[in-house]
């Protein structure tokens, strides 16, 4: 019958389910531990600083799953996987499938900071429940500290500022998005955040916190004066969700180890998205999750039918953030990390009002990276080598 189970209903899981159905699977079940329709995770900051409702950001309506013959099981976490007997366990009991795609994503990191982890004013922003809790807290608090200057932290800072909150953004690296942006592009992002009223603190880290009534008193490294806030949102990265794979005896490292077809160490078991480790790399982005999901879903069926499996390409994926207040587009290496490379500023193009377009050029003339702020003009041509 070709019963395929997809465990995890983010972009990778949804694409795997669709690909499996298109490849000929007669039964595809998509398991989600959350009680709401799968949603676009990058939209969580917007939900958190409004009414906490993620339903406007659903990736598809329920009718889409029905039309494509995908059984969506909400609020149904998979608690164990027996790869030998092809059995999974959920709160509803044991179920048998012929192939699996693990797409359980990642979990937010919570570094040990004295006085912080036990605080009722500490949040992560990784789920619909997180967004709801932050929204509720926002009604009684007006000052928010966001720890982490990556793209999620930046978006959270923008949404909080738009919600008329006082915002402090704390990043321990010397600049925002240091892994993606060089100094000039990063400084422009910082200045645009400051224009929205965000207090951006780079080159420092949160070393301790103390709860005083409803306030959190934060101590930053190298600063004598503490900061009183109503809430702290951690946005300092994520770690692959490995618990199910580990308990099933699958090979894991920083992620679930997969080969070029995204098969795990067990036959007929595949992994895709943030939980998968392809070679030495894990890609934590929506574009990678979508592509890997399509390949894993197809290959899960191919393994049962004897069809030729697809191979997952080894490549870098662009980062895109598009908001009314700020656009960020980046791909490839920074000049700081690329040997004998330099940044070359291009004209601002049609969006001359504050836009910045940069490319990272190696000594042999090859473009190794592209960074654009408030413009995407020519981005696709540059990353394709035209």
CA distances to 275, 316, 334, 369 from 337, rounded to whole Å, are 26, 15, 5, 10
**295: closest CA among 316, 317, 320, 314?**
314
* Number of neighbouring beta carbons within 10 Å of residue 24: 13
Reported pTM: 0.93
pLDDT at 380: 81
Q: How far apart are CA 351 and CA 354, in angstroms?
A: 7
Residues 6+ apart with CB under 8 A from 282: 240, 254, 255, 274, 276
Per-residue pLDDT of the chain (386 residues), as tens digits, is 689 999 999 999 999 999 999 999 999 999 999 999 999 999 999 999 999 999 999 999 999 999 999 999 999 999 999 999 999 999 999 999 999 999 999 999 999 999 999 899 999 999 999 999 999 998 888 999 999 999 999 999 999 999 999 999 999 999 999 999 999 999 999 999 999 999 999 999 999 999 988 889 999 998 888 999 999 999 999 999 999 999 999 999 999 999 999 999 999 999 999 999 987 666 778 999 999 999 999 999 999 999 999 999 988 889 999 999 999 999 999 998 888 899 999 887 776 667 999 999 998 988 999 999 999 988 888 776 55
Matching residue, tokens 């180890």 = 257
pLDDT of residue 280: 67
- Beta bridge partners, 234, equal 124, 147
The pLDDT value recorded for residue 84 is 94
Q: Quick one: which of 127, 89, 379, 386 has its CA closest to 248?
A: 89
Q: Estimate the share of the chain in helix, then strand, then coil, as percent rounded to the nearest 5.
A: 25, 30, 45
CB burial string 249-276: b at 16+ within 10 A, e below = ebebeebbbbeebbbbbbebbbbbbbbb
- SS3 at position 176: coil
How much is the pLDDT for 103? 98
User: Are 370 and 359 within 8 A, CB to CB?
Assistant: yes
Q: What is the DSSP letter of 42?
A: G
CB atoms within 10 A of CB 98: 17
Angle, CA 123 vertex, CA 155 and CA 276 arms, to 5°: 70
CA dihedral 182, 187, 188, 189 (to 10 degrees): 90
* CA–CA dist 336, 34 (Å, integer): 40
Compute the Cα dihedral for 162, 163, 164, 168 and give only its sign: negative
Of the candidates 4, 6, 70, 66, the one whose C-alpha atom is nearest the C-alpha of residue 32 is 6
Task: Give me the half-sphere count of Cα atoms (radius 13 Å) on the Cβ side of residue 223.
Answer: 17
Closest alpha carbon to 210 in 341, 121, 282: 121
The encoded tokens of residue 86 equal 């092809």
């Amino acid at each position: 019958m070709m019963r395929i189970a997809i465990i995890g209903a983010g972009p990778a899981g949804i694409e795997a389910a669709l690909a499996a159905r298109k490849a000929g699977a007669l039964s595809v079940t998509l398991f989600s531990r959350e009680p709401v329709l799968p949603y676009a995770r990058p939209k969580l900051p917007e939900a958190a600083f409004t009414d906490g409702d993620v339903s406007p950001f659903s990736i598809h309506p329920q009718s889409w799953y029905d039309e494509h013959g995908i059984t969506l099981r909400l609020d149904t976490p998979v608690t164990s996987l027996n790869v030998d007997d092809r059995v999974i366990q959920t709160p509803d009991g044991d179920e048998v499938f012929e192939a699996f795609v693990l797409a359980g994503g990642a979990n937010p990191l919570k570094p040990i900071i004295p006085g912080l982890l036990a605080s009722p004013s500490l949040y992560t922003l990784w789920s619909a429940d997180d967004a709801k809790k932050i929204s509720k807290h926002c009604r009684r608090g007006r000052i928010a500290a966001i720890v982490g200057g990556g793209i999620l932290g930046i978006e959270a800072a923008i949404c909080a500022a738009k919600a008329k909150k006082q915002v402090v953004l704390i990043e321990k690296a010397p600049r925002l998005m240091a892994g993606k942006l060089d100094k000039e592009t990063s400084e422009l992002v910082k200045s645009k955040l400051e224009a929205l009223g965000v207090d951006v603190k780079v080159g420092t880290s949160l070393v301790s916190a103390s709860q005083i009534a409803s306030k959190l008193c934060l101590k930053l490294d190298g600063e004598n004066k503490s900061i009183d806030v109503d809430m702290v949102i951690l946005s300092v990265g994520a770690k692959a969700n490995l618990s199910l794979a580990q308990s099933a005896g699958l090979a894991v490292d920083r992620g679930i180890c997969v080969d070029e077809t995204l098969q795990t160490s067990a036959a007929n078991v595949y992994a895709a998205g943030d939980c998968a480790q392809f070679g030495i790399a894990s890609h934590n982005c929506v574009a990678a999750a979508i592509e890997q999901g399509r390949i894993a879903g197809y290959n899960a069926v191919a393994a049962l039918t004897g069809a030729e499996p697809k191979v997952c390409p080894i490549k870098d994926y662009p980062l895109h953030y598009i908001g009314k207040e700020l656009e960020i587009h980046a791909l490839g290496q920074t000049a700081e990390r690329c040997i004998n490379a330099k940044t070359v500023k291009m004209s601002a193009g049609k969006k001359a009002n504050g836009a910045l377009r940069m490319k990272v050029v190696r000594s042999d003339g090859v473009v190794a990276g592209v960074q654009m702020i408030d413009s995407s003009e020519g981005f696709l041509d540059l990353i394709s080598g035209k």
